[in-house]
Amino acid sequence: MTRLMDRVRAYLRSPKGRQNIEKAKRIARDPRNQQKARRFLDRLRSGRR
């Protein structure tokens, strides 16, 4: 498991990894996506499928 985490960390430090992190942050700031995430989490918490 440690080896897997090392590979993940190395990827996140790479230029492509940093680019994907910035893309995810940009997407997460979108109010529509925030609402979708809230609805999804609410469904998970309530136990409905």
In a domain, 3, yes or no: no
Q: How many structural domains compose the chain?
A: 1
Q: Where are the alpha helices (DSSP H) in the chain?
A: 2-13, 15-28, 31-46
**pTM score of the predicted model:** 0.66
Report the C-alpha gap between 46 and 40 in whole angstroms: 10
- Going by pLDDT thresholds of 50, 70 and 90, the confidence category of residue 2 is confident
In a domain, 39, yes or no: yes
In a domain, 43, yes or no: yes
**For the segment 24-48, what is each residue's pLDDT rounded down to a tens digit?**
999 999 999 999 999 999 999 998 6
Give the range of the structural domain holding residue 38, as residue numbers without chain letter.
Answer: 21-49
In a domain, 49, yes or no: yes
Report the C-alpha gap between 39 and 17 in whole angstroms: 28
In a domain, 1, yes or no: no
In a domain, 7, yes or no: no
